[in-house]
Amino acid sequence: MNSVQRFLLSNGNIAGSAAALAVTVSYLAGLIDQGWGLLAVGAYAAGFLPFAFVGKPVHMPEGLSTAEALEWLRTSAMPRLPQNARPILSDIIARVDGLMPRLKEMEEQGIVEASSRALLKQTVVRLLPDAVETYLRLPATYAKVKTLEDGKTPQQLLIDQLAMLQTHVHSLEDNLLSADINSMLANGKFLQEKFQQGIALN
């Protein structure tokens, strides 16, 4: 997308154009007489300026811990996303938030390898921010209406990418829980054998 397209589809230009159009329609309807041109320019400026001072998407700071990255995604990224993208990101954040402490314990106990926690951290500090920040660099209207080569809009592409990451986190969660369950089963078998031995001795 070139700079002209970015400007034309920006929220500020759309809001300003709508305001100027309203003044023009009022003039054509006879509601405004002289000076309608200046009023249209003023209306455009009034619609455009509030968006002109909206800051650019904030980039995730470098070197954040997993917990800090989750907080950045929750507070800085999620409110800027489309409504249908937020539940997916929220689910990912909640699951990772719950998994990380248990994952560390399992790693220390030798139940899982350190690479599992590294993989989950990479998802939070790199893969998710990359997907979110790339989307947020686009004007909101452009992201909704621009059709890409595969027939999808950038907004739909964001949903697809978040869904893939969600599936990835679910898979990691299943693997970890399976390791926990296997550990429980092994412990249960051990206790059963000890209990049976105790009965036999009596």
| Mean pLDDT per 10-residue interval, the chain, length 202 residues | 56 63 67 66 60 58 87 91 93 89 74 72 88 84 77 89 90 72 51 54 50
Q: How many Å separate Cα 49 from the centre of its chain?
A: 27
Q: Which residue, chain included where needed, has tokens 């412990």?
A: 187
Task: Identify which of 123, 119, 130, 141 has the alpha carbon closest to the alpha carbon of residue 77.
Answer: 130
Question: What integer pLDDT is reported at residue 87 of this predicted model?
Answer: 95
Q: Which helix (H) or strand (E) holds 17?
A: helix 11-28
Taken in order 123, 129, 132, 137, is the CA torsion positive or negative?
Answer: negative
Question: What integer pLDDT is reported at residue 53 of this predicted model?
Answer: 45
Question: What integer pLDDT is reported at residue 185 of this predicted model?
Answer: 47
Indicate the pTM of the whole model.
0.62
Q: Burial code of 3-39, b = ≥16 C-beta within 10 A, e = fewer?
A: eeeeeebbbbbbbbeebbeebbeebeeeeeeeebeeb
Task: Identify which of 182, 23, 201, 17 has the alpha carbon closest to the alpha carbon of residue 106.
Answer: 182
What is the length of the chain? 202
Question: What integer pLDDT is reported at residue 170 of this predicted model?
Answer: 87
User: What is the rounded CA–CA span in Å between residue 52 and residue 55?
Assistant: 8
C-alpha gyration radius of the chain: 27
